[in-house]
């Protein structure tokens, strides 16, 4: 798809790369240092490490990170008359929406890889844990990458709509916080309504924290995948309809 190739060209010299690299490293490390300051060790080895790094990260920093990436990706379009130029071209609205969401999703995926690498490095070098990260967490990481997609689609929409950089990030922060609360009180169905909830839920898989029972069942995995596909499709379709009808501003 030509629009996708064009979107990737725009990432050159973008600030997005700094976010993609620094945010997961800083947050995973922060999650761990906090628990160390509390004086608790890694009672259950790799599992505890995963819980304190990735699950903590998945509660809200991951969604906020995707929101920052979306705002950065859209910022270039809101400057000058770039938006007019894009909308006065032949690229169909759906392609524009998909290309933007795809770029944000790919950046989010790279961010997840870096988060996992940081976790493994801290485990092996920092804490001298025996062996390697249990393989199920690598599979869960793939699910987290998938669950980043609906958040990317939603944040892309918000950043398209709002010219402000901070407002969509604030929405992600509040949305992720509220979604985490819903999961804590056991409202698992929230994953079908809130992309933030679906993403948080994916990070909690197999850890027996918050909404998770500790068992990785086919049912739970299927529910998360279904929620992601459903939310991504609905949000992208709605965004396209809105873009088709909207007047260009400025």
Partner 1 sequence: MSFIVESSNLTKAYGGRTVVDGLDLRIPEGSVYGFLGPNGSGKSTTMKMLLSLIRPTGGEVEVLGQPMNRSTRRQLLGSIGSLIESPPGYAHLTGAENMRIVQRLLGLDDAQVDFAVKTVRMHGQMGKRVREYSLGMKQRLGIAMALARQPKLLILDEPTNGLDPAGIEEIRELLRRLADGGVTVMVSSHLLGEVDKTATVLGILSQGRMIFQGTRADLFSAATPDLLIDCSDPRRAQSMLARAHGARLEDTTVRLAGVDSDEATAGVVTGLVAEGIGVHGVRRDEQTLESVFMGLTAGGGL
Residues found near partner 1 in the complex (CB under 8 A): 2-3, 5-6, 9-10, 12-14, 76, 79-82, 84-85, 87-93, 244-245, 247-248, 250
**Shortest distance, CB of residue 237 to partner 1, whole angstroms?**
16
Q: Are 148 and 66 in contact (CB under 8 A)?
A: yes
Q: What is the torsion angle, in degrees rounded to the nearest 10, for the CA atoms of residue 152, residue 72, residue 181 and residue 50? A: 80
Residue environment code for 8-28, b if the CB has 16+ CB neighbours within 10 A, otherwise e: eebbeebebeebbeebbbebb
Task: Could you list the beta-strand ranges (E) of the chain.
Answer: none
**Shortest distance, CB of residue 240 to partner 1, whole angstroms?**
12
Nearer to partner 1, 6 or 114 (CB): 6
Nearer to partner 1, 47 or 75 (CB): 75
**Shortest distance, CB of residue 87 to partner 1, whole angstroms?**
6
**Shortest distance, CB of residue 7 to partner 1, whole angstroms?**
9
Nearer to partner 1, 90 or 128 (CB): 90
Q: Are 201 and 224 in contact (CB under 8 A)?
A: yes
The gap from C-alpha 51 to its chain's centroid, in whole angstroms, comes to 17
**Shortest distance, CB of residue 17 to partner 1, whole angstroms?**
12
Nearer to partner 1, 34 or 241 (CB): 241
Nearer to partner 1, 5 or 218 (CB): 5
Residue environment code for 68-91, b if the CB has 16+ CB neighbours within 10 A, otherwise e: bbbbbbbbebbeeeebeeeeeeee
């Amino acid at each position: 798809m030509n629009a996708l190739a064009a979107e990737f060209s725009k990432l050159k010299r973008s600030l997005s790369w700094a976010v993609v690299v620094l945010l997961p490293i800083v947050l995973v490390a922060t999650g761990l240092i906090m628990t160390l300051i509390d004086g608790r060790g890694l009672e259950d080895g790799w599992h505890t490490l995963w819980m304190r790094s990735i699950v903590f990260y998945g509660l809200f920093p991951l969604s906020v990170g995707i929101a920052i990436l979306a705002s950065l990706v859209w910022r270039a379009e809101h400057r000058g008359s770039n938006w007019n130029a894009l909308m006065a071209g032949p690229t169909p609205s759906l392609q524009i929406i998909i290309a933007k969401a795809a770029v944000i999703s790919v950046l989010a995926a790279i961010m997840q890889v870096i988060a996992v690498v940081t976790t493994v490095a801290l485990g092996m070098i920092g804490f001298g844990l025996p062996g390697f990260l249990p393989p199920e967490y690598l599979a869960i990481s793939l699910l987290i990458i998938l669950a980043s997609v609906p958040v990317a689609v939603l944040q892309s929409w918000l950043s398209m709509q709002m010219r402000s950089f901070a407002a969509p990030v604030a929405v992600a922060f509040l949305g992720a916080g509220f979604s985490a609360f819903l999961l804590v009180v056991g409202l698992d169905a929230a994953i079908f309504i809130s992309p933030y909830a679906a993403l948080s839920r994916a990070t909690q898989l197999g850890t027996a924290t918050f909404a998770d029972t500790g068992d990785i069942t086919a049912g739970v995995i299927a529910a998360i995948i279904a929620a992601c596909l459903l939310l991504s499709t609905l949000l992208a379709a709605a965004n396209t309809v809105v873009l088709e009808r909207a007047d260009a501003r400025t």
